[in-house]
Structure 1
Amino acid sequence: MNETFEVFINRFKERLVELFHTKSDINALSLQRGLPEEVWKGIMDVNPLAVAVPTAYAGRGAQVKECLGLLAAASYESLPLSLTFGINIALFLEPLAKYGHEDIKADIFKQFMTKGAMGGLMITEPDYGSDALNMRTQFMADADSYTLKGQKHWQGLTGMADYWIVAARKKMDNGELARDIDFFVTDNSKSDQHIKVEHYFNNLGLYMIPYGLNTIDLTVPTNQKLQQTSTGIKMMLDILHRSRLQFPGMGMGFIQRMLDEALQHCENRKVGGQKLAVMDSVQFQLSRIQSSFALCSGMCAHSTTMSSIEHDVSGQGIAANSMKALVTDLMQESAQICVQLSGSSGYKIEHVAGRGIVDSRPFQIFEGSNEMLYSQIAEGVVKQMKKTKELHFGRYLTGYDLTARVAPRFKELLDFSLNDTLAQRQLVVLGKAIARLVCLQFVDELAEKGFRQDLYLNAFKHVNMDLKELLTNLLAYNDSNSVLEYKENSDWLSFA
């Protein structure tokens, strides 16, 4: 652990190339459920998760820069592998380091450092997906232990993780469940803490990661309850926001891979005697991916300044939701563009971009669907605007710390006031606009430190284009609604 991060990450990258391109074929591996044991062992022998283990426990210190660097290096080769590390880092190791009881940390961290252990987080339930505050998994306290009962599903690393952090609500004397949420560390190797997998899901993509339905019926000692500093809900927000703030690490390598693949194909492919890359519409599409690359770079850099476990990010919902929602949209768009530019060869599950469409799609859904997050971004900003009695959108954003650097450059576009009531679909659109301004500011900050000006200019132009479309949809929105009983008089055959 004394080697520099540059040496560490290069050693990790070399191991992935060796395992995925020399000893085996990542395209073939990606088509099977899970990874062969020898491949997993080869990856974990490099001790990648040491980046998220504190130095007091022989790790590299849980520095955000190193965690994001690892996620980016992994996602360049394999998005599912990066997600596997992301789950371990943001949803287990960092919460354990920050909230875990000192009595249990040493042994668990040792298992990660020496045995290649893995961990995850269980919140989502079959009837309560994003509605986490109404989860039904419950716990009861005894003299020296807690008993947990319930069901969880769609946890990444189902049946594979050695340790879990399980969310539950206290069962009160009257049989009702408390409003607050508590978290408990479980050790799957112990019979009284083992979580039973009822069945596995046939997830559409991310074949490397098992998902399924779990039954919780276990007992843990009192020292395996996470130690909250205020409320469990605030602790949950701190954990989830920190995870969302680190999504750009997973997006970084993936978007760069889509960019590199698209550039290489367009340089080598000739149509009508000229390179595909010289065509104007192709240049636009390539610049679109490069804009995503720049925006994601800005997110990563900003995340390193605010998302370490030393910070409480429970109140950083706008920044966290902006990063998570926008970067995952950009990941999906980059994969779609790369497939389109690659022609028929891209439409193969073994093609990195074709596979990327399927593998990046759930990123827009899990840890809060993007529509929900965009709505929350807009609601948060509108609430602050009302509090300050400033309803002019442009003036408010010009004074708002997350957009103050860039908002004045869009003065004409932002020259309007918001109504007292906005339809939910308008809130989603407004959130998309705000997220782009927030993340463009992160690139602006990075450009001031020396990041390429041409890449920043590309990002600016594409954000400007997106804002024009989004704000047009906001101010003159489509109010169409679905017709539930649509079948009567709707069969075209009867009119032909």
Structure 2
Amino acid sequence: MDFTLNDEQKLMIETARKVGEAFGPDYWREKDANKSFPTECWQAVCDAGLSGAMLPEDLGGAGLGMVEVALIIEELCAAGAGATLAQVFMLNPIFGGVSVAKYGTDQMKSEWLPKMCSGEMQFCMALTEPDAGSNSLEMRATAVAEADGWRLNGQKIWITGVPQSHKMLVGARTTPIDKATKKTLGISLFMIDTDREGVSHTPIDKLGTNTLPSSQVFFDNVHVRSDELIGDVDKGWYQLLDVLNTERIVTTAGLIGAGRLAVRLGVDYAKERRVFGQTPIGAYQSIQFPLAQHWAELEAAKLLNLKAASLFDRGLHFGSESNAAKLLASQAASAVAERSMQVMGGMGFSKEMHVERLWRDARLFRFAPVSEEMILNYIATVNLDLPRSY
């Protein structure tokens, strides 16, 4: 297995690093404080040709793969953003790009994807429901067929980036679960206008990831046109898995970048801070060893994530690798952010030093977009062949 980066990948990483450094920690601290979307940063990402890295060139992309996307996201997040910038990639190249590129009509592809690459159009996905959570098969939102499309009703929760989006990927039951021949059938995906009549949303006050709003979304007798179906009627669950599994890779890349940033901030502080004499605190093993441990964990998660991305690019199964990588990265990023706060002592509690934001943001990904417990369930049943407990 060759881990050497080619010239194109090196250039792409360098481009991502420069874009990321132009929007460093101070920029993200301000955005976090004001709870404002990183519009300028995302436009710069698009202008640099990074947002459409894995989309075909004739649709405005670069024709690269998921490996390159993971490397781009990691570098951008390590430069100052932390894990939240990866979420913008989830919204657009994944929720918008993957779903439309794989299952959309030719008109959707030619009309929407170039605009996604340029930053003119943004997406979100309405999947999670209050009573379903991780068990999306139990979703209760319904889309009832009518003469020229469907009529959508229901509620979603913890939907990211709704106010900024133009299009919303919605999962709904088109066949009731008690009438479907199997539980995985009966769900369909639609791409509708976010400002469609009957669609409303309210913000959720939350601990972190403040640069991206989270919302409750309500569908009240919303008309969905027949040409807004993504893929096949009643087979949306299988299409959804393609979107969700790539989401894992993107999430992990952002966490690795956030972890790298937390390590760097902790190390820089440890080199400068002196107590009880002239020795920098970074010379003490009690400071060194935890940071070194988390560095090793992040490197392991990165290699596993790149394996998952490589498998995806070759059309092979990558669920086990992407889930395991996300498990390791979420734990390592959360732990090293807290460790860097501890290294800084009281200063780590201040917003000036940035690590408190990384800590707040990284904590989300211990249970989102898939929880540790569900990942362990997956590994136990799929990789260890243990019986299901749920």
**TM tier, shorter chain?**
0.7 to 0.9
Question: Are residues 1:214 and 2:220 paired?
Answer: no
Which of these residues, 229, 236, 243, is aligned with residue 239 of structure 1?
243
Which of these residues, 338, 363, 366, is aligned with residue 364 of structure 1?
366
Structure 1 residues 102 and 312, CA gap change in structure 2 (3 angstroms): farther
**Which residue of the partner structure matches residue 68 of structure 1?**
70
Q: State the shift of 1:62 in Å.
A: 4.9
Residues 307-364 of structure 1, C-alpha deviations (whole Å, 9 max, x = no match): 23x6264xx4432321222211111111111111121111123432111111001111
Query: Which residue identity does 1:70 align to in structure 2?
Result: I
Question: Are residues 1:186 and 2:189 paired?
Answer: no
Question: Are residues 1:57 and 2:59 paired?
Answer: yes
8 Å CA contact 1:157, 1:209 repeated in 2: yes
- Largest Rg, 1 or 2: 1
Query: Which residue identity does 2:189 align to in structure 1?
Result: F
Which of these residues, 250, 274, 292, is aligned with residue 297 of structure 2?
292
Equivalent residue pairs, number: 376
Secondary structure of the corresponding residue to residue 244 of structure 1: helix
**Which residue of the partner structure matches residue 332 of structure 1?**
334
Residues 129-175 of structure 1, C-alpha deviations (whole Å, 9 max, x = no match): 11211111111223442222111110110222111111011145xx9
Match runs of 1:320-469 below 5 Å: 320-383=322-385
Q: State the shift of 1:61 in Å.
A: 1.9
Query: Which residue identity does 2:136 align to in structure 1?
Result: A
Residues 27-71 of structure 1, C-alpha deviations (whole Å, 9 max, x = no match): 223211113755554554434312143223121125112211221
Give the TM-score of the pair, scaled to structure 2: 0.87
Query: Which residue identity does 2:214 align to in structure 1?
Result: Y
Match runs of 1:132-147 below 5 Å: 132-147=136-151
Q: State the shift of 1:251 in Å.
A: 1.8
Secondary structure of the corresponding residue to residue 184 of structure 1: strand
Question: Are residues 1:116 and 2:120 paired?
Answer: yes
Structure 1 residues 25 and 95, CA gap change in structure 2 (3 angstroms): closer
Structure 1 residues 54 and 220, CA gap change in structure 2 (3 angstroms): farther
Could you tell me how far apart the structure 2 residues matched to 1:107 and 1:229 are?
A: 22
Secondary structure of the corresponding residue to residue 48 of structure 1: coil
Which of these residues, 193, 200, 203, is aligned with residue 200 of structure 1?
203
Residues 210-264 of structure 1, C-alpha deviations (whole Å, 9 max, x = no match): 1111112422332322225994333222322222133321122111111211221
Could you tell me how far apart the structure 1 residues matched to 2:31 and 2:96 are?
A: 26
Structure 1 residues 331 and 187, CA gap change in structure 2 (3 angstroms): same
Structure 1: gaps of 5 or more residues: 387-421, 428-496
Could you tell me how far apart the structure 2 residues matched to 1:92 and 1:37 are?
A: 17
8 Å CA contact 2:156, 2:218 repeated in 1: yes
8 Å CA contact 2:305, 2:325 repeated in 1: no
Question: Are residues 1:276 and 2:281 paired?
Answer: yes
Could you tell me how far apart the structure 1 residues matched to 2:60 and 2:139 are?
A: 36
Structure 1 residues 343 and 177, CA gap change in structure 2 (3 angstroms): farther
Structure 1 residues 184 and 86, CA gap change in structure 2 (3 angstroms): same
Secondary structure of the corresponding residue to residue 298 of structure 1: helix
**Which residue of the partner structure matches residue 435 of structure 1?**
none
Structure 1 residues 18 and 318, CA gap change in structure 2 (3 angstroms): closer
Structure 1 residues 336 and 277, CA gap change in structure 2 (3 angstroms): same
Percent of paired sites with the same residue: 20
Could you tell me how far apart the structure 2 residues matched to 1:97 and 1:63 are?
A: 13
8 Å CA contact 1:45, 1:116 repeated in 2: no
Could you tell me how far apart the structure 1 residues matched to 2:49 and 2:156 are?
A: 29
Could you tell me how far apart the structure 1 residues matched to 2:193 and 2:13 are?
A: 30
Output the aligned Cα RMSD: 2.8
**Which residue of the partner structure matches residue 264 of structure 1?**
268
Secondary structure of the corresponding residue to residue 340 of structure 2: helix
Structure 1 residues 142 and 229, CA gap change in structure 2 (3 angstroms): closer
Match runs of 1:90-105 below 5 Å: 90-105=94-109
Structure 1 residues 207 and 350, CA gap change in structure 2 (3 angstroms): farther
Q: State the shift of 1:204 in Å.
A: 0.9
Could you tell me how far apart the structure 2 residues matched to 1:133 and 1:235 are?
A: 13
Secondary structure of the corresponding residue to residue 311 of structure 2: coil
Structure 1 residues 262 and 70, CA gap change in structure 2 (3 angstroms): same
8 Å CA contact 1:75, 1:81 repeated in 2: yes
Query: Which residue identity does 1:211 align to in structure 2?
Result: S
Secondary structure of the corresponding residue to residue 49 of structure 1: coil
Could you tell me how far apart the structure 1 residues matched to 2:32 and 2:378 are?
A: 35
Query: Which residue identity does 2:293 align to in structure 1?
Result: R
Secondary structure of the corresponding residue to residue 51 of structure 2: helix
Secondary structure of the corresponding residue to residue 124 of structure 2: strand
Query: Which residue identity does 1:15 align to in structure 2?
Result: V
Structure 1 residues 176 and 62, CA gap change in structure 2 (3 angstroms): farther
Structure 1 residues 129 and 303, CA gap change in structure 2 (3 angstroms): same
Query: Which residue identity does 1:298 align to in structure 2?
Result: L
Could you tell me how far apart the structure 1 residues matched to 2:241 and 2:44 are?
A: 35
Which of these residues, 14, 21, 43, is aligned with residue 17 of structure 1?
21
Which of these residues, 302, 324, 332, is aligned with residue 307 of structure 2?
302
Residues 158-196 of structure 1, C-alpha deviations (whole Å, 9 max, x = no match): 222111111011145xx966442211111336x45x732
8 Å CA contact 1:71, 1:86 repeated in 2: no
Query: Which residue identity does 1:99 align to in structure 2?
Result: Y
Residues 82-122 of structure 1, C-alpha deviations (whole Å, 9 max, x = no match): 22123322333112211212231110112213343211221
